[in-house]
C-alpha cells in the first residue's frame, strides 16, 4: 500500500473491500438462478426482497458506472440542503425556513448532465430538479468530483408520510449515503433503529457527518463524535467514517469533499452497494436452505409402505386370489375327469370375470380397464397417509419452508392415481397365458382312462345283449377271476378318480404359486406407479432444493 493510500484509509477509517464487477455479476447470476429454481416452491413473501434486488442490480449495472450517486439523508433541519448547496457551491436546494420542506429529491451532477440523465431518470429525480456543476466554470477545482451525482433527499422524519416513502425508495437505489446529523438529534431513535441498523451490511457505502459543528467548541465536537461512534457501534456499523462538518464555516467541508473525491475516483461505491445488498439478501435466504438432501432421500422402506397401501387400494390381493382361483379352475377344466371338465367349463373364469386379460404385458392394451371395485374410504385414507409420509420423509432434513412444496408435490398427481393403478393392474402379465404342459399330459391320460372305461362298458353291454338275444356267448377273457370288460370299466373309472384325487394337491400348490407370482408382478407394476406419480414429483422438489443450495452458496462465495 502506498503512503498516499494509507493516508486515504486513515481519512475514511473504513475497512473497504474491492468489489470485482465480474464476480459481482456471477453472484447476481447465481441469485437469479436460485430464484428461478425456488420460485415455484417457496412463498412469494420470502423472495420479494431478492427479486427486487436482482432487478435493481441489473438496472444499475446497465446504467453509467462512471457516475457515483451519493445521497444526503437525515432528519429535518440537520442541514442536508445547506450541505448540498455548500458542496455544490450554488444556491440550488431551498434551505428550509418553512416546514414541511420539499418532498422530492434534488440532484447536482458534476460534469456534463447528459450522460447522467438516464441514471437520474431511473432514480426518479424530476428533470427540473437536476442541476449541473460544470467543472469548466471552476477550472480544475471541481475536476476531482467529476462523475459525482449528489442528491438532497427529503427529510425522513417529515410530517408528510409520502416524504418518508420517497426517502426509503431513494435509499434503495443510491450508491452511497451520507447521513447528516446535528448536535441535538444525532441520537435520534428512528435514525438509528429504522435506518442505520438496517444499513449494517452497507458499512462501506455509509458516511456519517456531524453537521453544524461550527456551533460546538472543538472539545464538545470531539465528545459528540465519540458518543456518535459509540451509537454507530451499537448499530452494527463500527467502521463507518464519521466527521464533523459545517455548511456555514468555510473550510469545514474539506474532509467530506476528500472522502467524496476518493469515492468518485474509485468507482466502487455502486458495486459495493450491490455487493452489500447481495450479502443481506442472501443472508435472509439462508434460512430457507439447510443441510444437503440427496435426491434418494425417499428411502426404500417409505416407498414400500406407499406401494403396499396403493396395492391394497388397487385390489392387488383380490387379483392375486383371482389368479390362484383361475389357475385351479383352468387346471381342473383341463386335467379333471372329462365329465367334471364339461361342468367346469360352464362356470365363469375368475380372471375373465374381472376383465383381466391374460395377454402378456408386451401387447399394447389401449383401453385396459379392470372391473375391480373402487377403493373404499379406509383404503383411500391409507393411501393418503402413505403419500404424506413420503412428503414428510423427504422434508425431514430440509428447512420447514419446503414442507408445503413437498406435500403438494407428493399429492400433485393424486387425482390420476386410481386410473394409473387400474391401468397398471390391467396391463400386468399375470403369467396365465400358457397352459402348463403337464395339464395336457394329465388331460390325455384322463381321456385314456375314460376310453378304457367306455370300452369296458361297451364290451359289457355287447356281452349282455348277446346273452339276451340268445346268440352264441362270447368268450370273455379274464384276469384272475375278474372278467376283462368289468376290469376295463372299473379300472378306467377308478384310475380316473384316483388320478383326479392325486392331482388335487399339485393343482392347489400350483394355484398358490400362480397367485404369489401374480402378486409379485402386480406389486412391481404398482411400485412403478408409486415412483412415477408420487416419488418423482417429490424428487423434482428435492432436486430443486439441491440446485438452490448450490446457487445460494455461489451467491455467498466471495
Ligand atoms: N450554524 C449552522 N447552521 C446550519 C448548518 N447547516 C444548516 N444550518 C441551518 O439549519 C437549518 C436547516 O437547514 P436545512 O439545510 O434546511 O436542513 P435540512 O432540513 O436537513 O435540509 C437552516 O436554518 C440552516 O441555515 C450549519 O452547518 N451550521
Ligand atoms: Mg432540506
**Ligand 2 mean position to 86 CA, how many Å?**
13
What is the CA(101)–ligand 1 centre distance, in A?
12
In whole angstroms, give the CA distance from residue 540 to residue 533. 12
pLDDT 10s digits, 284-319: 999 999 988 876 667 788 889 999 999 999 999 999
* Exposure of 440 in the CB half-sphere (CA atoms within 13 A): 4
Rounded to the nearest whole angstrom, what is the distance from the C-alpha of residue 163 to the centroid of ligand 1? 18
CA of 335 to the centre of ligand 1 (A): 113
Task: Tell which wins on pLDDT, 298 or 409.
Answer: 409
96 lines ligand 1 (CB under 6 A): yes
Peptide bond into 491 cis (omega under 30): no
Helices (H), 63-198: 80-88, 114-123, 135-138, 161-171, 189-190
**Percent with pLDDT over 70 in the chain:** 90
CB atoms within 5 A of ion ligand 2 belong to 80-81, 96, 101
- At 68, which helix (H) or strand (E)? strand 68-74
> Which atom in ligand 1 lies closest to the alpha carbon of residue 180?
20
Is 74 close to ligand 1, i.e. is its CB under 6 Å away?
A: yes
Q: How far is the CA of 259 from the centre of ligand 2 (A)?
A: 22
| Global confidence as pTM | 0.80
pLDDT value at position 97?
45
- Confidence grade of residue 99 (pLDDT, cut at 50, 70, 90): very low
Between CA 337 and CA 344, with CA 341 as vertex, the angle to 5 degrees is: 135
**Tens digit of each residue's pLDDT (9 = 90 or more) over 487-522:** 999 999 999 889 888 999 999 999 999 999 999 999
Q: What is d(CA 510, CA 93) in angstroms, rounded to the nearest whole number? A: 100
CB-ligand 1 contact for 68 (6 Å cutoff): no
Q: Whose CA is nearest to atom 11 of ligand 1?
A: 77
> Is residue 101 in contact with ligand 1, taking CB distance under 6 Å?
yes
CA gap 119, 109 in Å, rounded: 11
Is 211 close to ligand 1, i.e. is its CB under 6 Å away?
A: yes
Q: With left for phi above 0 and alpha for psi between -120 and 50, is residue 45 left, alpha or beta? A: alpha
Q: Using most ligand atoms within 8 A of CB, pick from 108, 221, 247, 254 the residue to mutate for ligand 1.
A: 247
- Residue 93 Cβ inside 6 Å of ligand 1? The answer reads no
Question: With a 6 A CB cut-off, is 80 part of the ligand 1 pocket?
Answer: yes
Which residue in the block uniquely carries the three cell numbers 454507530?
232
C-alpha 7 to ligand 2 mean position (Å)? 33
Q: What is the pLDDT of residues 514-556, one digit of tens each?
A: 999 999 999 999 999 999 999 999 999 999 999 999 999 999 9
Arithmetic mean of pLDDT over the chain: 88
Predicted pLDDT at 343: 84
215 lines ligand 1 (CB under 6 A): yes
- Evaluate: CB of 82 within 6 angstroms of ligand 1: yes
**Tens-place pLDDT, residues 151-210:** 999 999 988 889 999 999 999 999 999 999 999 999 999 999 999 999 999 999 999 999
Mean pLDDT of 346-370: 67
Average pLDDT of 269-286? 94
- Nearest CA owner, ligand 1 atom 1: 212
Residue 535 DSSP symbol? I
- DSSP track, 272-285: HHHHHHHHHHHHHH
Angle at 189 between CA 232 and CA 106, to 5 degrees: 85
Q: Starting from the CA of residue 182, give the closest ligand.
A: 1
Q: Band of the pLDDT at 88, cuts 50, 70, 90?
A: confident
212 lines ligand 1 (CB under 6 A): yes
Task: Please name the residue that has the C-alpha cell 425417499.
Answer: 298
211-237 mean pLDDT = 96
- Of the candidates 454, 433, 424, the one whose C-alpha atom is nearest the C-alpha of residue 523 is 424
**How many whole angstroms from 234 Cα to the centroid of ligand 2?**
27
- Give the closest residue (by CA) to ligand 1 atom 8: 79
Q: Is the dihedral of CA 111, 112, 114, 117 positive or negative?
A: positive
Say if strands 482-483 and 478-479 run parallel, antiparallel, or are unpaired. antiparallel
Pocket probe for ligand 1: among 73, 82, 159, the residue whose CB has the most ligand atoms within 8 Å is 82
Amino acid at each position: 500500500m502506498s503512503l498516499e493510500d494509507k493516508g486515504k484509509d486513515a481519512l475514511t477509517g473504513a475497512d473497504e473491500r474491492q468489489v470485482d464487477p465480474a464476480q459481482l455479476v456471477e453472484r447476481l447470476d447465481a441469485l437469479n438462478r436460485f430464484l428461478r429454481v425456488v420460485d415455484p416452491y417457496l412463498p412469494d413473501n420470502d423472495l420479494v426482497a431478492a427479486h427486487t434486488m436482482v432487478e435493481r442490480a441489473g438496472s444499475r449495472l446497465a446504467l453509467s458506472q462512471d457516475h457515483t450517486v451519493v445521497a444526503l439523508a437525515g432528519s429535518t433541519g440537520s442541514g442536508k440542503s445547506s450541505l448540498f448547496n455548500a458542496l455544490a457551491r450554488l444556491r440550488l436546494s431551498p434551505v428550509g425556513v418553512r416546514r414541511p420542506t420539499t418532498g422530492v429529491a434534488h440532484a447536482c451532477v458534476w460534469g456534463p448532465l447528459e450522460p447522467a440523465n438516464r441514471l437520474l431518470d431511473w432514480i426518479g429525480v424530476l428533470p427540473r430538479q437536476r442541476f449541473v456543476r460544470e467543472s469548466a466554470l471552476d477550472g480544475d477545482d471541481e475536476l476531482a468530483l467529476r462523475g459525482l451525482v449528489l442528491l438532497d433527499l427529503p427529510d425522513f422524519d417529515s410530517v408528510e408520510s409520502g416524504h418518508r416513502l420517497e426517502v426509503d425508495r431513494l435509499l434503495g437505489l443510491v450508491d452511497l449515503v451520507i447521513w447528516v446529523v446535528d448536535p441535538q438529534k444525532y441520537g435520534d431513535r428512528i435514525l438509528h433503529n429504522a435506518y442505520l441498523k438496517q444499513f449494517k451490511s452497507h458499512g462501506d457505502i455509509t458516511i456519517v457527518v456531524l453537521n453544524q459543528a461550527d456551533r460546538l467548541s472543538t472539545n464538545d465536537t470531539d465528545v459528540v463524535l465519540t458518543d456518535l461512534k459509540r451509537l454507530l457501534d451499537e448499530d452494527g456499523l463500527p467502521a463507518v467514517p464519521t466527521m464533523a462538518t459545517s455548511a456555514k464555516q468555510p473550510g469545514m467541508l474539506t474532509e467530506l469533499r476528500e472522502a467524496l473525491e476518493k469515492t468518485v475516483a474509485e468507482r466502487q461505491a455502486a458495486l459495493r452497494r450491490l455487493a452489500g445488498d447481495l450479502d443481506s439478501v442472501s443472508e435472509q435466504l439462508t434460512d430457507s436452505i439447510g443441510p444437503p438432501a440427496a435426491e434418494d432421500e425417499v428411502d426404500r422402506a417409505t416407498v414400500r409402505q406407499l406401494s403396499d397401501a396403493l396395492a391394497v387400494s388397487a385390489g392387488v390381493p383380490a387379483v392375486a386370489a383371482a389368479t390362484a382361483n383361475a389357475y385351479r379352475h383352468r387346471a381342473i377344466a383341463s386335467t379333471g375327469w372329462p365329465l367334471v371338465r364339461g361342468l367346469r367349463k360352464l362356470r365363469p373364469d375368475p380372471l375373465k370375470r374381472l376383465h383381466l386379460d391374460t395377454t402378456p404385458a408386451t401387447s399394447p392394451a389401449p383401453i385396459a380397464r379392470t372391473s375391480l371395485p373402487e377403493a373404499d374410504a379406509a383404503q383411500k385414507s391409507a393411501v393418503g397417509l402413505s403419500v404424506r409420509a413420503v412428503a414428510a420423509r423427504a422434508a425431514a432434513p430440509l428447512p420447514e419452508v419446503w414442507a408445503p412444496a413437498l406435500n403438494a408435490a407428493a399429492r400433485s398427481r393424486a387425482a390420476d392415481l386410481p386410473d394409473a393403478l387400474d391401468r397398471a393392474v390391467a396391463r400386468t402379465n399375470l403369467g396365465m397365458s400358457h397352459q402348463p404342459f403337464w395339464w395336457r399330459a394329465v388331460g390325455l391320460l384322463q381321456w385314456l382312462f375314460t376310453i378304457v372305461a367306455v370300452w369296458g362298458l361297451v364290451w359289457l353291454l355287447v356281452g349282455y345283449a348277446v346273452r339276451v338275444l340268445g346268440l352264441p356267448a362270447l368268450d370273455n377273457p379274464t384276469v384272475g377271476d375278474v372278467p376283462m370288460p368289468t376290469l376295463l370299466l372299473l379300472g378306467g373309472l377308478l384310475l380316473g378318480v384316483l388320478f383326479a384325487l392325486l392331482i388335487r394337491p399339485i393343482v392347489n400348490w400350483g394355484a398358490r404359486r400362480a397367485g404369489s407370482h401374480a402378486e409379485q408382478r402386480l406389486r412391481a407394476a404398482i411400485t412403478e406407479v408409486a415412483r412415477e406419480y408420487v416419488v418423482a414429483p417429490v424428487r423434482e422438489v428435492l432436486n430443486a432444493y439441491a440446485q438452490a443450495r448450490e446457487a445460494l452458496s455461489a451467491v455467498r462465495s466471495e
